[in-house]
Amino acid sequence: MSDPADTPDPFDPFGVIASMGEWCCLLKAARELREVDGEMMATMLEASAAGLAPVGPDAVANVRSIANLMRSLNLDVEAIRRRAPEAMRELEAACLRCTQRGRCARELWAGTAADAYPEFCPNAARLDQLRHA
């Protein structure tokens, strides 16, 4: 007797739809990895080694959050990364340890992060220094 899993889908006898789904997942992962530069990865690996935060998709999202917040404050993330790499690592490390990730994501999505970040962001003082430098 044949197993139902061995029976081809009558609408997708060659498994093209399943393959496309897997391909889309791979493309999404590749896009996320492309956005992680060497400095971000170093910060995430240091935090992981110190037991502060695991490396994974959530860590990538958290490090991306600080970059998005900085952009909302009209700070040039890449210029700061070149000019003050240690300051950028400190910002990213604090973001990885943050307990307010949900609020940060909501504020960024709503476009209110630039006004609300002093209320919840562990990087508020550092960001203020960068804004007034």
Q: Which two tokens stand for residue 1?
A: 């007797």
Q: Are residues 27 and 51 in the same domain?
A: no
Q: Are residues 66 and 29 in the same domain?
A: no
Task: Give me the phi and psi of 53, to 5 degrees please.
Answer: -160, 140
pLDDT tens-digit series, residues 55-73: 555 555 666 788 899 999 9
Q: Are residues 5 and 61 in the same domain?
A: no
Q: What is the domain extent for residue 93?
A: 37-131
Query: What residue type is assigned to position 1 of the chain?
Result: M
Q: Which two tokens stand for residue 61?
A: 């999202």
Domain count, the chain: 2
Q: Are residues 79 and 18 in the same domain?
A: no
Task: Using alpha carbons, select from 111, 116, 71 the residue that is nearest to residue 91.
Answer: 71
Q: Are residues 89 and 118 in the same domain?
A: yes
Q: Are residues 62 and 102 in the same domain?
A: yes
- For the question of whether the overall pTM of this predicted structure is more than 0.75, the answer is no
Confidence of residue 123 (pLDDT cuts 50, 70, 90): very high
Contact 52, 96 (CB under 8 A): yes
